[in-house]
Structure 1
Amino acid sequence: MGVVVRMPQLAAGGNEAAIQTWLIDVGDEVAAGQAIVEIETEKAVVEHEAEADGTIAAVLVAAGESAAVGSPIAVLALAGESAEEAMRSVDVAAPTSPSVAQDGMTEGAAQGSTAVPEPAPTIAPVPVATAGRRLFASPLVRRIARERGIDLSTIAGSGPNGRVVRRDLEAEVAPADDAPVAVPMTSVAASARSDAVAPAYNDIPHTGMRRAIARRLAESKTTVPHFYLVADCRVDELLAVRARINEGPDLKISVNDLVVKALAAALHDVPEANAIWTDDATRRFTGVDIAVAVAVPGGLLTPVVTGVERMPLGELSGVVRDLAERARGGRLKQHELEGGSFAVSNLGMYGTREFSAIINPPHAGILAVGAATQRPVVEASGELAAATVMTVTLSADHRVLDGALAAQLLAAFVRRIENPLSMLV
């Protein structure tokens, strides 16, 4: 009897997801546990594995198409069973076209041929007519392009047979976001008393990521009791140590790398704070996993760096850089967005001096980092001097951290950040 492969629920609260890439073709033999498809959620790309040994009998949802959680996306024929027998044994509709398992199979017919077969009406990629050529893009890509005002005819596709894929759009979105938006003026017919013009505006449709951010942060602010602690850190020595490290040709450390390392050291110093709230217990961790906020086109992602307390600074810098690059390219895996007890959000590079951040559940806190600026300080001797000072704000979950414990954690962070060599030994 055939096995129906269904769209899994990969993110809390998610009702649907999109097929990004099929890793198999119809007729391929697969083993239980083998990755067969990459599924795009609101924030990440997740590999979904076969649950049994068998042969792919049919693919029901093409790459680029969305499907509701729990709906069939493929059929697997078990050993000794033909594709036809597998399809007859399950209660699902056959695919519209036999060649929807890979986008390249449909697109490939368009290469080097003047007679281009029409794609399946509902599940195959749709060709976009451009000047002198036919460009293929999935419905998901076309929807994103439409939402962001991107002309697909100007994009060079990097997918199979030149197909435009999501990463091609991400490369275009930064300049598009920075460019001024032409806002049409809508006039309203003059009334008997006076002429009136409607206010100008431009509606930007919500993306899945924007909706997810809105849902989770609204939930956080309404269900997590936040409180805030602020501290000033003198970072002249930190910047001097960073400058000496970066004199080498192979290693470039950012201030944010040092902040993440200092927070991990502080959580090691105050292990009671390295915890999260669950319905049944306070879960205290033995290792330190920290999420790092990364601005991406249209939103924010928080990939998690695991085992920060064990990492040399150079390794930590490489891991953070890799996660940030893949976050901006839409190539993070779901598991890389899960876990951790604390997060770091740094807006110092934008000149922001001080801010407070919203906790990303289930984390117990988030450290908001402002810009390091020259400020007057009073030395221990009572003399006035100039120093480089960085203001940080700790947002804490009061269910996990009482005021005194959060204050101990913030004090430990300040000690570490002001004595950077203590993080390197």
Structure 2
Amino acid sequence: MGYIVKMPKLGMEMKSGTITKWVVDEGESVEKGDTLAEIESEKTAAEIEAREDGVLRRRYLDEGDATEPGGVLGIVAAADEEIAALEAEVGESGAVETEAEEPAQASTQAASSERSSSVTRRSDSGSSGDVKASPRARQRADDLDVDLVTVEGTGPQGSITEQDVVAAAEGVGDSVSTSDVRASPRAKKRAEDLGVDLTSVEGTGPQGSVTEEDVETAAESGEASGAAGRTTERPLSGMRRTIADRLGQSYREAVHVTEHRTADAEAVLAAADAASETFSADVSVTDVLLRALSAALTDHPEFNATFEDDVHRLHEDHNLCVAVDVEAGLIAPVVRNVGPDHVVDIAEKRAEVTERALSGDYTMDDLSGGTFTVTNLGVLGVESFDPVINPPQVAILGVNAISERPTRGDDGSVVFRRALPLDLSFDHRIVDGADAARFLDTLVDNLEDPWPLLEGVDRREATPVELPEGHVSASVDADFDGSISAGSFDYEFGVTEQFGGSGGAPTPVDFFLGSLAACLSSSIGVQANMRDVDFDDITVDVEATPPEGSVESLAVHVSVATDADDAIVDRIVTNGERTCHVAELLREDLPVEVTWDRG
């Protein structure tokens, strides 16, 4: 028995859903469980599956169109089944006439009546009310002053799409237009996304129709670029619109103030390593940070709070949102009730919600109920920023890149210690600057001495990093076993057996090759970064001939894992060699052969 496909409600906060992709074309057969369409709400994405075998007889929305929960998307029925009653139920406006049992359905009915009245008025005026067109096409026609009666539709059952209206407004139909091209709806949408002129694409589908693959092939080959020179519009997705609306509202209403502090990071780094080794778990600096943050929120509960309807609510549970960068935008899944958790439990919880976020398997529950947010741009090299509060929360902590800073040691010498810059944005309507300063002070204390918060983890004294700064010492003992001291780094080396040494350590030639390889890989990486060349890995292999004594030649091979073209790779390798300071120290009469490939 046929049925009407409706927009599901993906959580209590959902206001509307958007068709991001029709998987099934109108007239195509489906089996129970097949995916009909992909949809996206303000916070999540989902698939709509067929609940019985049949044929997708009608599609009422185009890709990119939105409707409220309960809104009509299509009709599925047997190929020979009479669907007049279902079509009558849908009505001309595409909204289901339902009883007001559920709020979503009631709002759908109201919207249906409103849209139907609008259509009737157009019909009475003798305009294009009787023409079959999507809601977005009608709106676009109004905007561009296009008479829908004059537009030839290319959508399902000849309905007019927004693209048809735009093409008519631009006068494309005066000659050969895309409406004259036989192409699937997905091919038309893909052509619009890629700026491909369908009239120039050779179709390989049934009866020569253009398929989505034909469009992509044409785009990759550089053909059919009829849209060249046009600007590209990128409509906001439902999730992106919600992010824009919520953060815009936050910035307009909350009184944002940001305070900055820097914590010595040596202890928190050592604590993460110690916890991982002690419990054979994957504990990161972020996990130790969340444990330290939770302890600070216990001492300053006014920050573990929300502000709604003029009420400042302090929450007992520490539900910490950790921002995750996904394709559709920034989302902040919740690590729940962190307060009583051991750092290992925090690590497991955070890993689970982060994995769901990155894989797209998160739910509305994963994104709801947060009381404080942490956003880390340090992984992208950011040194300082002013994070925007995630409403209705009252504060957000920004985490920046760890950096090495010179510090005066106990003996007056200069040592380099790693530092973690933090940015706390808070709503000054709710908490004061002095409150924020005290909160940051507690948090920094917890980070610089996290050991009392890590039950079962033995304290380890962090050893600050001392850089050589151009000064290296080397020595050998009576057995010709040598050592090199470079800042806080120590290495052993050996004299070969033929000269009386044990030969049980790298030779001076080995150390030189290591220095050259490290310098070259870093320099090539810098050159790639300067040219915005994405790469996964750069590996440099250096071979000396002979391997000991006076080196007569060097063979350097570079492997670059990148999709960049050969000319660009060759350029970054060449420039990397030129800018490597160790390479500059090579004597002029030493032959050096540099080759590269794609790793």
Shorter-chain-normalised TM-score: which range?
Answer: 0.5 to 0.7
- Code of the residue aligned with 1:222 in structure 2: it is R
Cross-structure match for 1:303:
333
2:289 alignment counterpart: 259
Matches within 5 A, 1:7-156: 8=9, 14-18=15-19, 39-45=39-45, 66-70=65-69, 71-73=71-73, 87=86, 90-92=89-91, 142=190, 146=194
Q: Which residue of 2 aligns with 1:333?
A: 363
Give the structure 2 partner of residue 205 of structure 1: 234
Corresponding residue to 2:248 among 218, 222, 238: 218
Equivalent residue for 2:353, pick from 300, 317, 323: 323
The amino acid of 2:349's aligned partner reads V
Partner of 1:352: 382
* Higher RCO (Cα < 8 Å, 6 or more apart): 1
Find the counterpart in structure 1 of residue 275 from structure 2.
245
> What RMSD over aligned residues (CA atoms) do the two structures have, in Å?
5.1
Distance in 1, matches of 2:433 and 2:398, equals 17
- What pairs up with 1:402-413 in 2 under 5 angstroms? 402-413=432-443
- Once the 2 structures are TM-superposed, how far is the Cα of residue 328 of structure 1 from its aligned partner? 3.0
Query: Deviations for 1:33-91, whole angstroms, at most 9, x for unmatched residues?
Result: xxx9985214313699xxxxxxx999966997744115234799xxxxx9979848945
Partner SS, residue 396 of structure 1: strand
Aligned equivalents of 2:436 and 2:16: distance in 1?
37
Does 2:317 match 1:287?
Answer: yes
What do the CA deviations read for 1:292-335 (whole angstroms, capped 9, x no partner)?
11112253111122112233323322332333333233332222
Larger radius of gyration: 2
Segment of structure 1 superposing worse, 257-266 or 391-400: 257-266
Change over 3 Å in CA distance of 1:213–1:72 after alignment to 2: same
CA distance in 1, matches of 2:340, 2:188: 40
SS in 2 for 1:325: helix
User: Cα distance 1:251–1:142, how it changes in 2: closer, same or farther (>3 A)?
Assistant: farther
Contact preservation (8 Å) 1:3, 1:86: no
State the match for 1:228 in structure 2.
258
Partners in 2 of 1:61 and 1:334 — Cα distance? 27
State the distance in 1 between where 2:13 and 2:188 align: 21
Matched, 1:391 2:421: yes
Aligned-partner Cα distance in 2 for 1:207–1:41: 12
SS of corresponding position for 1:390? strand
Please say which of residues 415-424 and 321-330 is displaced more in the overlay: 321-330
2: CA distance between counterparts of 1:141 and 1:316?
A: 44
Specify the SS of the correspondent of 1:399.
coil
Residue correspondences, number: 337
Distance 1:281 1:204, change over 3 A: same
Q: Contact 1:275–1:284 at 8 Å: present in 2 too?
A: yes
Superposed displacement of residue 374, structure 1: 1.8
CA contact (8 A) 1:276 1:400 kept: no
The gaps in structure 1 that reach 5 residues or longer are 29-35, 49-55, 77-81, 96-118, 124-135, 148-163, 165-175, 177-183, 187-200
* Deviates most, 332-341 or 393-402: 332-341
| Partner SS state of residue 277, structure 2 | coil
1-structure distance, mates of 2:353, 2:309: 30
Of 361-370 and 215-224, more deviation after overlay is shown by 215-224
Aligned amino acid, residue 370 of structure 2: G
CA distance in 2, matches of 1:331, 1:122: 36
Q: What is residue 99 of structure 1 aligned with on the other side? A: none
Percentage of matched positions with identical amino acids: 28
In the alignment, is the contact (CA less than 8 A) between 2:17 and 2:39 conserved in 1? no
Larger mean Cα displacement after TM superposition, 239-248 or 7-16: 7-16
CA–CA separation in structure 1 for the residues paired with 2:355 and 2:22: 20
Deviations 1:164-196 (Å, cap 9, x if unpaired)?
Answer: 9xxxxxxxxxxx9xxxxxxx996xxxxxxxxxx
- Which amino acid is 1:18 matched to? I
Q: Secondary structure at the match of 1:238?
A: helix
Which 5+ residue runs of structure 2 have no aligned equivalent?
A: 24-28, 49-53, 95-154, 160-183, 196-211, 213-219, 221-226, 456-599
Question: Using the alignment, how far apart are the partners of 2:334 and 2:44 within structure 1?
Answer: 13
CA-CA distance at 1:387 after TM superposition? 2.2
Q: Partner amino acid for 2:236?
A: T
Sort the Cα spacing of 1:357 and 1:141 in 2 relative to 1 into closer, same or farther, 3 A: farther
Corresponding letter in the other structure for 1:353: E
Q: 1:291 is paired with a residue of what secondary structure? A: strand
Length-normalised TM-score, structure 1: 0.61
Name the structure with the higher helix share. 2
Please give the alpha-carbon distance, in whole angstroms, between the structure 1 residues aligned to 2:65 and 2:363. 18
2:240 and 2:353 map into 1 onto residues whose CA distance is 20
